[in-house]
């Protein structure tokens, strides 16, 4: 059984706790930080961590507002600046160095920002189905997906599994046990014995207050400052990471390695081929 550990981080209104799981030898100087997507948790990397724990000390945090981490009293504090600050606090408090990084979607953006900093500790960066640009049409589709889900209650994990099969259908063909793993870490149990989504729905408020056309996400200047080797994982049917974005990433940084998988947004990093692609590249 993997236990959760916690660190204290600062926010504009005070402090909050960040939860993380740790795999492998805690004294191993080779460290792999794995950061999840927008509405997920660090437990998305259980399969990857199991495969790599002989070679790495692996740390998988729950970003604030998700999983076992605290929720914030002010929803406007949720966002990349605080997430990046929290991860830098984690790195500092655990005295980490010699870091490799795997980031899915939002976690890939966090890694890209940290890797772009001068004297960054990130040696190698894996970005899972995310790039420096998200066009308005893609952003609108992504936001609409979360705004339309409501706040469902589930009687049991069977209902949760049915829900995730539909909500995360872009993940592609998965086994029953893989869907059940995703379902387990999509919810938390209530005091009434039912299940609710594990994350603070206020993380979606940024979409609710938007007026007019959503502006594109444009982090090309950040991407231009990344110098560490990069592996980009791409879901071939992804609506968030477009082929033209990949081409531009390659034109700016020709050394990037790109791996394509038959799914949408995003490769869930559960299957052997996806895990081996990361393991082979890191090693």
- CA 254 vs. chain centroid, Å, equals 25
Q: Are 72 and 16 in contact (CB under 8 A)?
A: yes
Q: Are 123 and 228 in contact (CB under 8 A)?
A: yes
Beta strands in 169-225 (DSSP E): 187-189, 195-197, 217-218
CA 231/CA 256 separation, integer angstroms: 6
Give pLDDT tens digits for 11-56.
998 999 999 999 999 999 999 999 999 999 999 999 999 999 999 9
- CA 184 vs. chain centroid, Å, equals 17
Confidence check: pLDDT of 10 > 90? yes
How much of the chain exceeds pLDDT 70, in percent?
98
Give pLDDT tens digits for 257-274.
999 999 999 999 999 999
Q: Write out the two tokens for 28.
A: 């191993």
Which of these ranges, 204-208, 225-229, 270-274, has the smallest mean pLDDT? 204-208
Q: Please, which pLDDT band fits residue 212 given cuts at 50, 70 and 90?
A: low
Radius of gyration of the chain (CA): 18
Confidence check: pLDDT of 213 > 80? no
Q: What H or E segment, with its residue span, contains residue 58?
A: strand 57-61
Residue 211 confidence (pLDDT):
53
Give pLDDT tens digits for 124-182.
999 999 999 999 899 888 888 887 777 789 999 999 999 999 999 999 999 999 999 99
Q: Write out the two tokens for 146.
A: 């979360």
Site of tokens 């909050």: 16
Q: Are 30 and 12 in contact (CB under 8 A)?
A: no
Residue 134 confidence (pLDDT):
94
Q: Alpha carbon of 42 to those of 21, 45, 147: distances in Å?
A: 7, 6, 23
Confidence check: pLDDT of 194 > 80? yes
> Strand, coil or helix: what is 100?
strand
Which residue from 86, 41, 34 is spatially nearest to 57, judged by alpha carbons?
34
Confidence check: pLDDT of 210 > 60? no
Give pLDDT tens digits for 45-92.
999 999 999 999 999 999 999 999 999 999 999 999 999 999 999 999
- Mean pLDDT for the chain overall: 94
pTM: 0.96
3-state percent breakdown (helix, strand, coil) of the chain, nearest 5: 40, 25, 40
Residue 98 confidence (pLDDT):
86
Q: Alpha carbon of 231 to those of 64, 68, 100, 282: distances in Å?
A: 26, 29, 11, 9
CA 132/CA 245 separation, integer angstroms: 8
Cis omega (within 30 of 0) for bond into 136: no
């Amino acid at each position: 059984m993997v236990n959760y550990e916690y660190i204290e981080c600062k926010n504009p209104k005070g402090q909050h706790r960040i939860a993380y799981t740790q795999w492998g030898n805690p004294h191993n100087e080779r460290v792999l930080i794995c950061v999840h997507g927008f509405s997920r948790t660090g437990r998305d990397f259980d399969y990857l961590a199991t495969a790599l724990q002989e070679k790495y000390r692996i740390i998988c945090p729950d970003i604030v507002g998700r999983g076992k981490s605290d929720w914030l009293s002010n929803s406007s504090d949720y966002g990349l600046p605080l997430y990046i600050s929290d991860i830098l606090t984690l790195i500092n408090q655990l005295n980490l160095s010699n870091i490799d990084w795997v980031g899915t979607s939002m976690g890939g953006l966090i890694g890209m920002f940290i890797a772009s900093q001068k004297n960054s500790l990130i040696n190698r960066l894996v970005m899972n189905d995310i790039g420096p640009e998200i066009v308005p049409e893609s952003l609108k589709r992504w936001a609409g997906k979360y705004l339309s889900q409501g706040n469902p209650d589930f009687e049991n994990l069977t209902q949760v599994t049915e829900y995730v099969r539909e909500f995360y259908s872009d993940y592609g063909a998965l086994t029953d046990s893989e869907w059940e793993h995703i379902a387990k870490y999509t919810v938390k149990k209530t005091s009434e014995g039912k299940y609710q989504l594990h994350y603070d729905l206020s993380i979606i408020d940024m979409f609710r207050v938007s007026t007019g056309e959503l502006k594109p996400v444009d982090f090309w200047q950040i991407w231009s400052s990344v110098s560490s080797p990069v592996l980009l994982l791409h879901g071939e049917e992804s609506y968030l990471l477009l082929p033209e974005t990949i081409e531009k990433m390659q034109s700016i940084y020709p050394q990037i390695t790109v791996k394509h998988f038959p799914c949408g947004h995003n490769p869930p990093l559960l299957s052997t081929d996806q895990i081996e692609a990361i393991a082979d590249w890191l090693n």
